[in-house]
Amino acid sequence: MLQVTTTQAATWAIAAAATGGVLFRPFGVPEAVWTVLGALALVGLSLLPLGVAAAAMAKGTDVYLFLTGMMLLAELAREEGLFDWLAACAVRAAQGSQPRLFGLVYVVGTVVTVFLSNDATAVVLTPAVYAAARAAGAKPLPYLYICAFIANAASFVLPISNPANLVVYGSHMPQLRSWLATFAWPCVVAIAVTFIVLRITQHASLRAPITNTVPLPRLSTEGRWAAAGITLAATALLGASAFAVDLGLPTALAGIIAVATVSFSARKAPWRVFAGISWSVLPLVAGLFVLVAGLEQTGVIAMLTATLHDSVTRSSGSAAWQAGLAVAIASNVINNLPAGLIAASTIAGAAPPDAVTAAMLIGVDLGPNLSVTGSLATILWLVALRREQVHVDALTFLKLGTLVMIPALVAALSAT
């Protein structure tokens, strides 16, 4: 019979409470507060040594730098009106057809996710799409769903498309050529299946033609500089990925250089960009690293590692399916960042075949499309909707997510 110690029970309870706080935000308290409080509780109650907690936070350095750079690039694009301009271009190119507009917004969302990460799609493209749909006289919700679902469906096209990719692979990130060889076809399948299901489910809302004319806003010189900076940054990051260089520092430098260049050109203070960023994401992620370290101390990771090792021993093919589906479900229960951290620790211990690791990453990235609590990007999408007074309840999203995520996940895992 399994004996649970007081230390194990207390650690699990704190981790569960902190995760619940992130998912449900009791009393409106921000997500980051709950993970930080959970981390402090583990250390303060001597459930986790301070040195171990500090080492766990240090493990996330590359992720913090990556997030900082991507948030700078995304906020710069938002500040200079680049996303508003892209959304307006999509409306004009649709020529009065909502189905065509739906496809164009999907393409824009895919490109933004691939080169600026899924969080950028959720945070800055969502308000632009909402404004463009309203201006065109169309129901915004079908287009807003695009922002939520493509943010996860396209988030494993490149290593830079999702911070969770850095979490899962850590210092063992594959070179770009190897990454594309593994994930290119599953990505194409996931993006295509997600589009097809979304298009079918939103068919009734897309029948009416677009009657309003949307003026195309002028893209300022600074907006062009921002677009050029993002393009150069994406090129540099692809180069770093091609040579298996850690992506955090190059991403942070790319963001800082782009902001400095545009600010100097426009003779504006760069602090306006820094002020618009949700910096609370960084302590949120740091707290998650500490919570996962606490779980590791209780033996949970060792148990999962042994289970995965046994599964691979019996059949690596079935192990890939089991691991991918299990991680996808876990991502919706505890959010995909902690699920990704646990998956990374399990992978490090079990050293499974590449196909199993790939399946687990697909589960971390694509699985969260099931629920509103599945990924940080979806949570940020909900925050963006609240600002526009748009409400999507958890059950409504779950019903649509079930239709969208399950076939996309099955198809992507089948394509690995």
Locate the DSSP E strands across 8-89. none
Structural domain boundaries enclosing 338: 6-414
C-alpha span between 54 and 60 (Å, rounded) = 10
| Other Cβ atoms closer than 10 A to 3 | 5
Per-residue pLDDT, 412? 97
Q: Is 111 exposed, middle or buried (0-12, 13-18, 19+ CB in 10 A)?
A: middle
Question: Roughly what angle, to the nearest 10 degrees, separates helices 316-334 and 354-366?
Answer: 30
Q: Is residue 314 part of a domain?
A: yes
C-alpha span between 143 and 325 (Å, rounded) = 28
For the chain, the C-alpha Rg in angstroms (whole number) is 21
Q: What is the widest separation between alpha-carbon atoms in the chain?
A: 69
Nearest C-alpha neighbor of 372 from the set 348, 400, 353: 400
Q: Is residue 354 part of a domain?
A: yes
129 and 325 in contact (C-beta within 8 Å)?
A: no
212 and 135 in contact (C-beta within 8 Å)?
A: yes
Q: Is residue 392 part of a domain?
A: yes
- In eight-state DSSP terms, residue 277 is S
Per-residue pLDDT, 1? 45
**pTM here?**
0.86
Per-residue pLDDT, 189? 97
pLDDT in tens, 131-162: 888 888 889 999 999 999 999 999 999 998 99
Domain count, the chain: 1
Q: Is residue 341 part of a domain?
A: yes
C-alpha span between 48 and 53 (Å, rounded) = 7
C-alpha span between 413 and 186 (Å, rounded) = 7
The alpha carbon of residue 320 and the mean position of all alpha carbons in its chain are separated, in whole angstroms, by 22
Per-residue pLDDT, 237? 77
Q: Is residue 395 part of a domain?
A: yes
CA atoms within 13 A on the CB side of 30: 12
Q: Is residue 90 part of a domain?
A: yes
- In eight-state DSSP terms, residue 403 is H
pLDDT in tens, 81-106: 888 888 888 888 888 899 999 999 99
Per-residue pLDDT, 179? 94
Q: Which token pair is 240? A: 């770093």
Q: Is residue 199 part of a domain?
A: yes
Q: Is 194 exposed, middle or buried (0-12, 13-18, 19+ CB in 10 A)?
A: buried
Q: Is residue 1 part of a domain?
A: no
Q: Give the sign of the dihedral formed by CA 147, CA 149, CA 150, CA 152.
A: positive
> Which segments in the chain show pLDDT lower than 50?
1
Per-residue pLDDT, 2? 53
What percent of the chain is modeled with pLDDT above 70? Answer: 99
Per-residue pLDDT, 201? 97
